[in-house]
């Protein structure tokens, strides 16, 4: 111990303790002690020895810590852990989804019957036990929270030396940090940090002296202005470092008056020891032990507020260092940043304080924005190459000039290395606080910036169809695009939507939705969008703005009963068509991929398509696109809608003009025809899952996944979309599983591996709830749909519900809409173009052997729906513009199924005979059952009328087609007459042909 030898009259800790208690200390001896051993001593080892010796007073450091811990009165546990430590999370007790508690507090608390789990902390964390803003008080352990045991005052003699030396210890530590600026390594002087951590472990009784010193402005002011201190503590390194700090500017649209016309930088001034330590911590890349020390002081609420304030002022520097670090192989900064911010922003009190007092929203939004759109600083030359730019001209743009829209390049290193993750994770994290989410939605500056940010991802990762040779290199960039959309855009969206409660203002919600529509229109303008000029063979799966529109609109309608005409431009057909263009293109592209049209682009396009429709993500992607189509279809003139739709699906010119679309072979065309039918059924019938956790939706998802096959619990969970990160309704799955399935108890397999139990769907649900269209929406493999159909058929046969030698058709359901508004999706069924399309499908089925029965049953289903929704009273004239294709001159299904037209519109073809939907249906029936056909149809039209919704959905081809004939005769007198006449005509014709029938006509050949 060297200082004793240098000066024999040094005070001992014991003398010091007595002197301090009795106020009899020799001031000059004390000053000498401080000067010799602290101020003028730069040797870390002797400094460490000195503080170890003097801070505890007349006892060892270990004894000191042991005793002082008895006086710990902290309400919050606050134990800090680093990565890979086991901690607990209890959903029953949590208020914030990020809540976590240490093992000790978990054991000392009572979580019996709670929904908790043990997890390995990835970014490190801290114990929230005792913090009522993060978890419910009933989950606190007996040592934390308001009802913790009371502690006594700390005896003077125990603490007086620590009180004296802690500020000096911090000064010395700061000097070490300053000097690390030349050594370049902050971690080498960990010995001082070890003492600090050791002291902090002593609990609140000692921590208060540390936090006071750290945040005392006067103390710091003296420290940096006293000339001797400035010299002895190497102040110059601090000034050099602060001068070199990177500057982050607020996005100017966020700041109140734009009159200033100059960028406003983040405030990185240093006013306390905490500020300075934070600055070194940030410039040194957030060293783990230093963070651990700072976080360990957070149970002190006032310190936590000040710490939050400082942290946010330096947030921009951290964000910049993330970009710098992205060149390094690996970086610990992201997880350490989150380690800090999670501790702060999962508390609603801290988060709201930070929002009101520390520009929390402006800071995070500015940092996120500048990560993708660097602020232009004209003084500095650009040190990055231009080809390094993370934004590129949008490949979907039709023009290319200075105003052309930009899109994120998903192959850029910042994206590939996921550099943006910690900032966006912070953003999504603060959105879990209701007040912050509303502040962003309701403040135009914030909302517009966020939408502008999403615009950068709008249409990212455009695939271009490869036609020549198979693509050699399969890019992985699509994964980054999906990660961004799901983890940033969608995660934030579900946070926002999750906060919308029934008492929320409809006017505000309408404003938000209109703002989203404006953003989409701005984006389209930036592409010089023109629906007629868009490339048919470019495909993106990423439309974050459209999905915001869809999900917000869905919730506005279903939760708030808002009339869509209050936000949609319902009278502007062209704008509506433009709004639906991209989602329609994406849905169509999805089916193109399934139809092998993108085969040469490699496996990766298939993976994209499957991810797009995957159950777990469907709410954020496929279902959102589909709902937007449904919504817009309610307002677009039906013929225009159907025509647009069919053109996009590449079946229009082929069917209507008997032309072959150049890019597709015949099997691809047939596959697209079937896809178009499926997508049309989906638009009219399917109810997408866009609400946050509705039991009804969860149930139908579970029934759907169980209809395909027996499932493990984990498979069920995986197949139930759960979009909201806020929802805690996961346990609802178990309740529903009990209602809809039987559990097969686990058995031991031969190899000795324990097999998990599976859930089997209850048989009767095939009759009542099994929805084949829902299965089609959720399964990208057709074999899964076939599986469900087989299980359904087995059930029908087993129960004897329908006797037939022919295949049982899928029991497509007659829809009942969960909101009155959505029944308007049936508008598109009142379209002469649609009826003509269905007519052509029937004709194609009859004449083209490669067209499958699937196409027939979708066609018949759409016909059935059209008839059920048939509006007898108001036949509408077809739009003049559509004249070239409209064989039917009305939109009235009852007229249209009766009328006989030439199949080909080409007058040169000289067709011998006209057909109608009715005659085609009769021919199709006859084709399958020529032997008993005439006996079977004598009952049509039937005698007694039944409500269409009560008609059984179990049957075969003959059953469903005759249903259509009966239905239409019941509903419309003209149909009844026409059907009777056509049957008679058919009979006559048939018996006339009988003698020549041996020559085997098409019909009978088919029958064999």
102 binds Zn ion (CB under 5 A): yes
Minimum distance between the CB of residue 298 and Zn ion, rounded to whole angstroms?
Answer: 13
683 binds Zn ion (CB under 5 A): no
* DSSP E strand boundaries for 703-804: 711-712, 741-744, 758-761
CA 422 to centroid of chain Cα atoms: 16
DSSP per-residue string spanning 33-69:
HHIIIIIT---HHHHHHHHHHHTT-SS-HHHHHHHHG
Rounded Cα–Cα distance for residues 861 and 809 (Å): 10
Minimum distance between the CB of residue 95 and Zn ion, rounded to whole angstroms?
Answer: 12
Beta carbons of 248 and 317 less than 8 angstroms apart: yes
* DSSP E strand boundaries for 116-155: 116-120, 125-126
77 binds Zn ion (CB under 5 A): yes
Give whichever of 149 and 227 is closer to Zn ion, judged by the CB atom: 149
Minimum distance between the CB of residue 781 and Zn ion, rounded to whole angstroms?
Answer: 41
Give whichever of 116 and 541 is closer to Zn ion, judged by the CB atom: 116
* Helix 333-345 with 348-357: angle, nearest 10 deg: 100
Beta carbons of 812 and 856 less than 8 angstroms apart: no
Minimum distance between the CB of residue 105 and Zn ion, rounded to whole angstroms?
Answer: 3
By the 10 Å C-beta count (0-12 exposed, 13-18 middle, 19+ buried), 517 is classed as buried
Minimum distance between the CB of residue 121 and Zn ion, rounded to whole angstroms?
Answer: 13
Of 3, 80, 95, 105, the one binding Zn ion (CB under 5 A) is: 105
Beta carbons of 541 and 598 less than 8 angstroms apart: no
By the 10 Å C-beta count (0-12 exposed, 13-18 middle, 19+ buried), 109 is classed as buried
Minimum distance between the CB of residue 77 and Zn ion, rounded to whole angstroms?
Answer: 3
Beta carbons of 81 and 291 less than 8 angstroms apart: no
Of 3, 38, 93, 512, the one binding Zn ion (CB under 5 A) is: 93
Q: How far apart are the first and last CA of the chain?
A: 107
Q: Of the ranges 102-110, 188-196, 387-395, 927-935, which one interacts with Zn ion (CB under 5 A)?
A: 102-110
Minimum distance between the CB of residue 101 and Zn ion, rounded to whole angstroms?
Answer: 5
Give whichever of 105 and 624 is closer to Zn ion, judged by the CB atom: 105
Q: Of the ranges 99-107, 259-267, 575-583, 952-960, which one interacts with Zn ion (CB under 5 A)?
A: 99-107
Contacts of 854 by beta carbon, 8 Å cutoff, 6+ apart: 674
Window 904 to 933, contacts with Zn ion (CB under 5 A): none
Give whichever of 145 and 941 is closer to Zn ion, judged by the CB atom: 145
Give whichever of 660 and 728 is closer to Zn ion, judged by the CB atom: 728
Rounded Cα–Cα distance for residues 625 and 690 (Å): 11
- Please give the size of the binding site for Zn ion, defined by CB under 5 A: 14
Give whichever of 128 and 426 is closer to Zn ion, judged by the CB atom: 128
Q: What is the x/- site pattern for Zn ion, positions 525-544, by CB under 5 A?
A: --------------------
Contacts of 341 by beta carbon, 8 Å cutoff, 6+ apart: 311, 422, 426, 429
Give whichever of 6 and 107 is closer to Zn ion, judged by the CB atom: 107
Minimum distance between the CB of residue 299 and Zn ion, rounded to whole angstroms?
Answer: 10
Place of tokens 């800071």: 363
CA distances from 757 to 40, 703, 760, 961 (A): 72, 17, 10, 42
Closest to 60 (Cα-Cα) out of 200, 153, 158, 173: 158
Q: What is the x/- site pattern for Zn ion, positions 114-153, by CB under 5 A?
A: x------------x-x---------x-x--x---------
Give whichever of 77 and 174 is closer to Zn ion, judged by the CB atom: 77
95 binds Zn ion (CB under 5 A): no
Contacts of 846 by beta carbon, 8 Å cutoff, 6+ apart: 920, 923, 924, 927
Q: Of the ranges 112-120, 376-384, 513-521, 721-729, which one interacts with Zn ion (CB under 5 A)?
A: 112-120
* Segment (H or E) for 88: strand 86-90
Beta carbons of 792 and 707 less than 8 angstroms apart: yes
Minimum distance between the CB of residue 520 and Zn ion, rounded to whole angstroms?
Answer: 43
Of 20, 65, 74, 90, the one binding Zn ion (CB under 5 A) is: 90
500 binds Zn ion (CB under 5 A): no
Q: Of the ranges 98-106, 349-357, 369-377, 490-498, which one interacts with Zn ion (CB under 5 A)?
A: 98-106
740 binds Zn ion (CB under 5 A): no
Q: Could you tell me which residues are beta bridge partners of residue 88?
A: 101, 118
Minimum distance between the CB of residue 126 and Zn ion, rounded to whole angstroms?
Answer: 8
Give whichever of 129 and 274 is closer to Zn ion, judged by the CB atom: 129
Structure tokens at 163: 């009180």
Pseudo-torsion of CA 220, 221, 223, 228, nearest 10°?
Answer: 180
Q: Of the ranges 84-92, 154-162, 231-239, 702-710, which one interacts with Zn ion (CB under 5 A)?
A: 84-92
Give whichever of 135 and 629 is closer to Zn ion, judged by the CB atom: 135
Minimum distance between the CB of residue 738 and Zn ion, rounded to whole angstroms?
Answer: 23
79 binds Zn ion (CB under 5 A): yes
Of 111, 600, 762, 767, the one binding Zn ion (CB under 5 A) is: 111
Q: Of the ranges 100-108, 157-165, 176-184, 368-376, which one interacts with Zn ion (CB under 5 A)?
A: 100-108
Rounded Cα–Cα distance for residues 781 and 606 (Å): 11
Beta-carbon neighbour count of residue 378 at 10 Å?
6
Q: Of the ranges 109-117, 528-536, 592-600, 653-661, which one interacts with Zn ion (CB under 5 A)?
A: 109-117
Of 92, 133, 575, 709, the one binding Zn ion (CB under 5 A) is: 92
Minimum distance between the CB of residue 335 and Zn ion, rounded to whole angstroms?
Answer: 21
The residue length of the chain stands at: 1008
Beta carbons of 767 and 795 less than 8 angstroms apart: yes
Give whichever of 111 and 762 is closer to Zn ion, judged by the CB atom: 111
Minimum distance between the CB of residue 112 and Zn ion, rounded to whole angstroms?
Answer: 9
Give whichever of 114 and 514 is closer to Zn ion, judged by the CB atom: 114
Minimum distance between the CB of residue 76 and Zn ion, rounded to whole angstroms?
Answer: 8
Q: In this structure, what are the phi and psi dihedrals at residue 307, rounded to the nearest 5 degrees?
A: -60, -45
Give whichever of 105 and 419 is closer to Zn ion, judged by the CB atom: 105
Minimum distance between the CB of residue 600 and Zn ion, rounded to whole angstroms?
Answer: 54
Minimum distance between the CB of residue 125 and Zn ion, rounded to whole angstroms?
Answer: 11
Q: What is the x/- site pattern for Zn ion, positions 431-470, by CB under 5 A?
A: ----------------------------------------
DSSP per-residue string spanning 679-717:
HHHHHHH-----SSS-HHHHHHHHHHHHHHS-EEHHHHH
Give whichever of 87 and 924 is closer to Zn ion, judged by the CB atom: 87
Rounded Cα–Cα distance for residues 905 and 657 (Å): 7
**What are the residue ranges of helices labelled H in 595-658?**
603-613, 615-618, 622-633, 638-648, 652-657
Give whichever of 103 and 607 is closer to Zn ion, judged by the CB atom: 103
Window 954 to 993, contacts with Zn ion (CB under 5 A): none
Closest to 824 (Cα-Cα) out of 644, 575, 630, 626: 630
Minimum distance between the CB of residue 342 and Zn ion, rounded to whole angstroms?
Answer: 15
Minimum distance between the CB of residue 291 and Zn ion, rounded to whole angstroms?
Answer: 18
* Site of interaction with Zn ion (CB under 5 A): 77, 79, 90, 92-93, 102, 105, 111, 114, 127, 129, 139, 141, 144
């Amino acid at each position: 111990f060297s200082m004793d030898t240098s000066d024999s009259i040094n005070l001992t800790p014991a003398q010091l303790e007595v002197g301090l208690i009795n106020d009899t200390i020799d001031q000059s001896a004390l000053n000498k002690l401080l000067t010799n051993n602290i101020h003028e001593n730069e040797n870390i080892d002797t400094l460490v020895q000195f503080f170890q010796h003097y801070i505890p007073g007349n006892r060892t450091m270990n004894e000191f810590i042991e005793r002082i811990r008895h006086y710990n009165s902290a309400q919050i546990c606050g134990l800090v852990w680093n990565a890979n430590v086991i901690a607990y999370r209890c959903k029953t007790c949590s208020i914030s989804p990020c809540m976590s508690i240490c093992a000790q507090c978990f054991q000392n608390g009572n979580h019996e019957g709670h929904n908790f789990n043990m997890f390995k902390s990835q970014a490190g964390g801290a114990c929230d036990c005792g913090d009522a803003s993060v978890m419910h008080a009933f989950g606190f352990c007996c040592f934390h929270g308001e009802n913790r045991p009371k502690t006594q005052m700390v005896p003077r003699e125990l603490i007086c030396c620590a009180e004296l030396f802690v500020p000096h210890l911090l000064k010395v530590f700061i000097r070490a940090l300053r000097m690390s600026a030349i050594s370049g390594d902050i971690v080498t002087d960990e010995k001082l940090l070890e003492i600090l951590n050791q002291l902090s472990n002593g609990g609140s009784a000692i921590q208060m002296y540390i936090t006071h010193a750290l945040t005392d402005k006067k103390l710091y002011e003296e420290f940096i202005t006293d000339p001797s201190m400035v010299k002895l503590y190497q102040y110059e390194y601090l000034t050099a470092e602060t001068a070199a700090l990177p500057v982050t500017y607020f996005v100017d649209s966020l700041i109140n008056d734009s009159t200033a016309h100059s960028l406003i930088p983040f405030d990185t001034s240093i006013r306390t020891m905490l500020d300075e330590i934070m600055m070194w911590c940030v410039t040194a890349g957030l060293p783990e032990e230093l963070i651990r020390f700072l976080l360990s002081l957070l149970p002190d609420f006032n310190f936590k507020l000040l710490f939050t304030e400082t942290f946010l002022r330096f947030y921009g520097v951290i964000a910049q260092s993330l970009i710098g670090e992205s060149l390094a192989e690996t970086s610990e900064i992201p997880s350490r940043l989150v380690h800090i911010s999670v501790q702060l922003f999962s508390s609603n009190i801290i988060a709201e304080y930070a929002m009101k007092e520390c520009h929390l929203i402006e800071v995070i939004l500015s940092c996120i924005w500048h990560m993708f759109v660097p602020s232009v600083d004209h003084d500095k030359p650009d040190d990055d190459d231009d080809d390094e730019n993370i934004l590129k001209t949008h490949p979907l743009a039709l023009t290319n000039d200075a105003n052309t829209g930009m899109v994120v390049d998903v192959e850029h290193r910042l994206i590939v290395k996921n550099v943006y993750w910690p900032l966006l994770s912070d953003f999504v994290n603060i959105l879990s606080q209701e007040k912050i989410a509303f502040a962003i939605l309701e403040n135009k500056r914030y909302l517009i910036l966020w939408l502008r940010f999403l615009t950068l991802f709008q249409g990212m990762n455009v695939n271009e169809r490869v036609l020549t040779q198979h693509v050699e290199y399969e890019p992985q960039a699509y994964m980054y695009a999906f990660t961004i959309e799901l983890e940033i855009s969608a995660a934030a969206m579900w946070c926002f939507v999750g906060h919308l409660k029934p008492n929320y203002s409809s006017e505000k919600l309408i404003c938000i939705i209109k703002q989203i529509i404006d953003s989409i229109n701005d984006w389209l303008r930036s592409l010089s969008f023109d629906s007629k000029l868009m490339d048919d063979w470019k495909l993106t799966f990423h439309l974050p703005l459209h999905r915001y529109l869809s999900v917000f609109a869905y919730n506005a309608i279903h939760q708030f009963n808002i009339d869509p005409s209050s936000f949609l431009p319902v009278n502007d057909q062209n704008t509506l068509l433009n709004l639906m263009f991209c989602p329609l293109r994406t849905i169509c592209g999805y089916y193109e991929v399934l139809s092998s049209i993108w085969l040469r682009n490699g496996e990766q396009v298939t993976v994209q398509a499957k991810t797009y429709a995957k159950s777990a993500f469907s709410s954020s992607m496929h279902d959102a696109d589909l709902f937007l189509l449904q919504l817009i279809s309610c307002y677009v003139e039906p013929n225009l809608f159907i025509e647009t739709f069919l053109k996009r699906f590449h079946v229009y010119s082929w069917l209507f003009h008997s032309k072959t679309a150049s890019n597709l072979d015949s099997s691809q065309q047939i596959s697209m025809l079937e896809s178009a039918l499926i997508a049309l059924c989906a638009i009219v019938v399917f109810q997408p899952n866009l609400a946050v956790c509705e039991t009804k939706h969860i149930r139908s998802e579970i029934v759907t996944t169980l209809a395909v096959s027996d499932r493990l619990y984990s498979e069920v969970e995986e197949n139930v979309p759960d979009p909201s990160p806020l929802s805690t309704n996961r346990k609802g799955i178990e309740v529903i599983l009990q209602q809809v399935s039987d559990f097969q108890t686990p058995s031991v397999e031969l190899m000795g591996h324990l097999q998990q139990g599976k859930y089997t769907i209850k048989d009767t649900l095939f009759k009542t709830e099994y929805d084949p269209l829902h299965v089609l929406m959720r399964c990208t493999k057709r074999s899964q749909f076939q599986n469900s159909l087989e299980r359904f058929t087995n059930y029908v046969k087993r129960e004897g519900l329908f006797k037939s030698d022919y295949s049982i058709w899928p029991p497509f359901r007659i829809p009942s809409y969960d909101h009155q508004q959505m029944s308007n999706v049936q508008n598109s069924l009142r379209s002469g173009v649609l009826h003509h399309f269905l007519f052509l499908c029937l004709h194609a089925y009859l004449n083209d052997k490669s067209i499958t029965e699937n196409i027939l049953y979708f066609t018949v289903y759409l016909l059935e729906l059209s008839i059920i929704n048939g509006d007898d009273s108001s036949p509408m004239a077809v739009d003049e513009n559509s004249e070239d294709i409209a064989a039917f001159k009305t939109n009235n299904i009852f007229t249209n199924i009766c009328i006989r037209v030439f199949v080909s519109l080409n007058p040169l073809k000289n067709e011998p005979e006209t057909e109608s939907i009715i005659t085609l249906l009769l021919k199709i029936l006859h084709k399958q059952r020529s032997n008993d056909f005439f006996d079977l149809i004598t009952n049509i039209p039937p005698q007694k009328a039944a409500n269409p919704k009560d008609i059984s959905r179990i049957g075969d081809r003959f059953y469903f087609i005759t249903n259509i004939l009966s239905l239409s005769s019941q509903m419309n007198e003209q149909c009844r007459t026409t059907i009777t006449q056509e049957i008679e005509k058919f009979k006559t014709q048939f018996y006339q042909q009988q003698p020549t029938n041996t020559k085997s006509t098409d019909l009978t050949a088919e029958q064999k």
